[in-house]
Structure 1
Amino acid sequence: MTGEVAVLGAGMHPWGKWGRGFVEYGTKAARAALADAGLEWSAIQSVVGANTVRCGYPGQVAGATFAKALGWQGARVTSVYAACASGARAIDTARAQILSGMADTVLVVGADAAPKGFFAPAGGDRPDDPDWLRFRVLGATNPAYFALWARRRMALYGDTAEDFARVKVKNAVGGAANPYARYRSPVTAEEVAASPVVADPLRLLDICATSDGAAALVLGSVETARRLGMARPVRIRAVSSVSPTHPRTALDLPDIATDSAPPDSSVPDPFRPSIARAAYEEAGLGPEDLSLAEVYDLSTALELEWYEDLGLCAPGEGAKLLREGATAPGGRIPVNPSGGLASFGEAVPAQAIAQVCELTWQLRGRAGGRQVDGASAGITVNQGLFGHGSSVVVVR
């Protein structure tokens, strides 16, 4: 194991469409995390900001942007971009600073003010941008891309539209109990089936929205946590950061292919399962040790894929695990008790940080009506464009 760091504080700004700037959202989340840690802003030695390319120059230098908004006090500033994995990369950067002795207390912040509708490539024609290539070459917006994965599951494993709807119904239960979620109403399978088709077989309620929102963490060494009176702090035990190992030339694929090869392919090391495997190896834990998981449910079908990639079940058995109730509240391994992206929507640089906020509250026993009984270990997983794979293991 590389070493543990403690979560001293966690804070969020509610997700929604608020019509204000990302700096306001991130500053509020940061102050909430500081209050949760019982620390003044002046006690923070380093700020790591998760970048957002859609929020102009301030979004490109998020670490300095948030330090300025909170009031310049001399802290080290770092900015990190890894698409949807930006928040996890920011956490890992903070962890490295703490374990190396560069800082004792680090503030990690991610915030976004996302445009409505599908995420479009930023900056006009960008032939080096996988989003631009996919849109231009395939005419495939993100929901169309998600639908290809859904169709693959239906063809290979017999998944059904009803299975996908069950994911939304389950996650809406968590969202209804989460004060930070954008969508806080229960949803029925009939409502999913009656929502408009976006990219067959996926309907509107199968796909996450784009949102404004923010999340922040204050991290420190375990010794720092104990000095602050935290006898048994929540700890980050592992952060994986992997990229695909299969050579692009061998597959003859363009840059639009940044997802994994399927487990039944001839590729020796499928990407998505390797994300969790690296985290498990570093943490010294396995899927059997988990109390809960927060996964990156861009669509309902993709959540089922993550069950298998995390090793919660064998390939092709994600829908079976769901039907058995294992991933539901009160089940053997609740997945997305926060409500997931289904209830939050995407606020890209904030979402991986928000996942760790949820695990922190769950492991502290402070998750309210969505609390997982006896939670002692959890994992997050997400994937960013250009092959950024990220997973965080949190324990208590």
Structure 2
Amino acid sequence: MTGDVAVLGAGMHPWGKWGRSFVEYGTAAARAALTDAGIDWRDVGSVVGADTVRGGYPGYVAGATFAKALGWQGARMASVYAACASGAQAVNTARAQILAGLADVVLVVGADAAPKGFFRPAGGERADDPDWLRFRLLGATNPTYFGLYARRRMALYGDTLEDFAQVKVKNAACGALNPLARYRKRVTAEEVAGSAVVADPLRLLDICATSDGGAALVLSSMEFARRHGAADPVRVRAVSTVTPTYPNTVLDLPDIATDSAAGVEPEGPGFRASITRAAYEEAGIGPDELSLAEVYDLSTALELQWYEDLGLCGAGEGAKLLREGATAPGGRIPVNASGGLASFGEAVPAQAIAQVCELTWQLRGTAGARQVAGARVGITANQGLFGHGSAVVAVR
């Protein structure tokens, strides 16, 4: 049995700060994807919603929420949550249902109405959650983490503030060509350097915003796609949702501060590299076969790290790859041709789905002014809190 499933439709609600319910964004994206697929809502056999825990109870049961909003018609329903990897987990759930023969057509939907300011853990106190502890006890919000990561790259590899700024310049130029992006204005390196310091060394324009938005996909079996007249659709070939590998999987929090034996080196590749490696292995490809990549650029420095974790270059060579223009439009391996989170901002449960939407349009050759010439194979990658991460490989 082939592991491929067809991407019949892709749709998005534009990103921004619209001040409306996530349900509105998700249903708009869903209808756009159904129209793109040429599928009637009543032909959908299953709905998988990527949860948004900031959306109240409807956000925790997003699959049922979107199914209700579109009009109950008897479809299966599932809801998944995996922080920033929620959308890819939803794609994975849909693919599993299709390959298991439980549904021929599955609608995947994610949407968010993000609050202003830094994200903070939802749902009250969680003393057993290391990320909650980081926020509450250390005051280490996500931009603080991004800043520490940038400092590490500067110390280990000699990355510079100018390198980080050039990531933003590249992604903003791509976002200026994307009608769905929130920020559609080119920026200069001088503008990045002149923006306010948020978490030294990162400036305001080095860090992505929080946004409202929605994204949806219509996935189907290859047999249904052929019956539907899609002889050569974009196909999802692999979805990786692996966890990190550590010698001890249960952390005894009270002992970490006093027992040096707890500080054991991880086995194998780092977390992000293990995510992408699993995707490559499942898809039967290597990084040299990629046409483009959509990665999770929460900060400019983190995009450089993804170059290395994707195997596009060696450790410490991310900035060199950027300087050579390899990851820019027209380069050897364009990264974030959509404009990335630099141009969209975070709409957490939607963004991994939006990445697959971009791959779909690029592999179809319908991405307009931002089209990557001859695109045939693409990969997405993102990392969520508490060991959640994902990568999706799409081919044509």
TM-score range, shorter chain: over 0.9
Query: Does 1:186 pair with 2:186?
Result: yes
Kindly provide the amino acid, as one letter, of the partner of residue 346 in structure 1: E
* Distance of 1:72 and 1:171 partners within structure 2: 40
Q: How does 1:128-139 map to 2 (within 5 A)?
A: 128-139=128-139
Tell me the equivalent position of 1:225: 225
* Distance of 1:255 and 1:388 partners within structure 2: 24
Tell me the equivalent position of 1:291: 291
* Distance of 1:71 and 1:39 partners within structure 2: 15
Q: How does 1:109-120 map to 2 (within 5 A)?
A: 109-120=109-120
Query: Does 1:17 pair with 2:24?
Result: no
Tell me the equivalent position of 1:246: 246
Kindly provide the amino acid, as one letter, of the partner of residue 137 in structure 1: L
How big is the shift at 1:137?
2.5
Question: Alpha-carbon deviations, 1:360-387, whole Å to 9, x = none?
Answer: 0000000011000000000000111110
Structure 2 unmatched ranges of 5 or more: 257-264
Kindly provide the amino acid, as one letter, of the partner of residue 180 in structure 2: Y
Residues paired across the two proteins, number: 388
Structure 1 unmatched ranges of 5 or more: 257-264
Question: Alpha-carbon deviations, 1:157-214, whole Å to 9, x = none?
Answer: 0000100000000000110000110000001000000000000000000000000000
How big is the shift at 1:268?
3.2
Distance of aligned partners of 1:13 and 1:255 in 2 relative to their CA distance in 1, 3 Å threshold: farther
Question: Alpha-carbon deviations, 1:304-355, whole Å to 9, x = none?
Answer: 0000000000000000000000000110000000000000000000000000
Question: Alpha-carbon deviations, 1:200-232, whole Å to 9, x = none?
Answer: 000000000000000000000111111111111
TM-score (norm 2): 0.95
How big is the shift at 1:45?
0.4
Tell me if the contact between 1:121 and 1:129 (Cα under 8 Å) persists in the aligned partners: no
Tell me if the contact between 1:246 and 1:269 (Cα under 8 Å) persists in the aligned partners: no
Tell me the equivalent position of 1:195: 195
Q: Secondary structure at the match of 1:242?
A: coil
Question: Alpha-carbon deviations, 1:17-48, whole Å to 9, x = none?
Answer: 00000000000000000000001100000000
Tell me the equivalent position of 2:349: 349
Tell me the equivalent position of 2:205: 205
Aligned structure 1 segments of 4 or more residues deviating by more than 4 angstroms: 248-256
Tell me the equivalent position of 2:216: 216
Tell me if the contact between 1:59 and 1:65 (Cα under 8 Å) persists in the aligned partners: yes
Tell me the equivalent position of 2:262: none
Q: Secondary structure at the match of 1:47?
A: strand
How big is the shift at 1:125?
2.2
Q: How does 1:279-318 map to 2 (within 5 A)?
A: 279-318=279-318
How big is the shift at 1:127?
1.0
Query: Does 1:383 pair with 2:383?
Result: yes
How big is the shift at 1:136?
2.1
Tell me if the contact between 2:273 and 2:309 (Cα under 8 Å) persists in the aligned partners: yes
Query: Once superposed, what is the RMSD of the aligned Cα atoms?
Result: 1.7
* Distance of 1:76 and 1:372 partners within structure 2: 36
Kindly provide the amino acid, as one letter, of the partner of residue 285 in structure 2: L
Distance of aligned partners of 1:253 and 1:232 in 2 relative to their CA distance in 1, 3 Å threshold: farther
Distance of aligned partners of 1:252 and 1:269 in 2 relative to their CA distance in 1, 3 Å threshold: farther
Tell me the equivalent position of 1:107: 107
How big is the shift at 1:269?
3.4
Tell me the equivalent position of 1:259: none
Query: Does 1:98 pair with 2:75?
Result: no
Question: Alpha-carbon deviations, 1:268-301, whole Å to 9, x = none?
Answer: 3321111000000000000000000000000000
TM-score (norm 1): 0.95
Tell me the equivalent position of 1:237: 237
Tell me the equivalent position of 1:359: 359
* Distance of 2:255 and 2:280 partners within structure 1: 28
Tell me the equivalent position of 1:151: 151
Tell me the equivalent position of 2:331: 331
Query: Does 1:76 pair with 2:76?
Result: yes
* Distance of 1:216 and 1:391 partners within structure 2: 17
Tell me if the contact between 1:49 and 1:63 (Cα under 8 Å) persists in the aligned partners: yes
Tell me if the contact between 2:238 and 2:393 (Cα under 8 Å) persists in the aligned partners: yes
Distance of aligned partners of 1:325 and 1:81 in 2 relative to their CA distance in 1, 3 Å threshold: same
Tell me if the contact between 1:255 and 1:386 (Cα under 8 Å) persists in the aligned partners: no
Tell me if the contact between 1:130 and 1:255 (Cα under 8 Å) persists in the aligned partners: no
Kindly provide the amino acid, as one letter, of the partner of residue 17 in structure 1: K
Tell me if the contact between 2:247 and 2:267 (Cα under 8 Å) persists in the aligned partners: no
How big is the shift at 1:251?
8.6
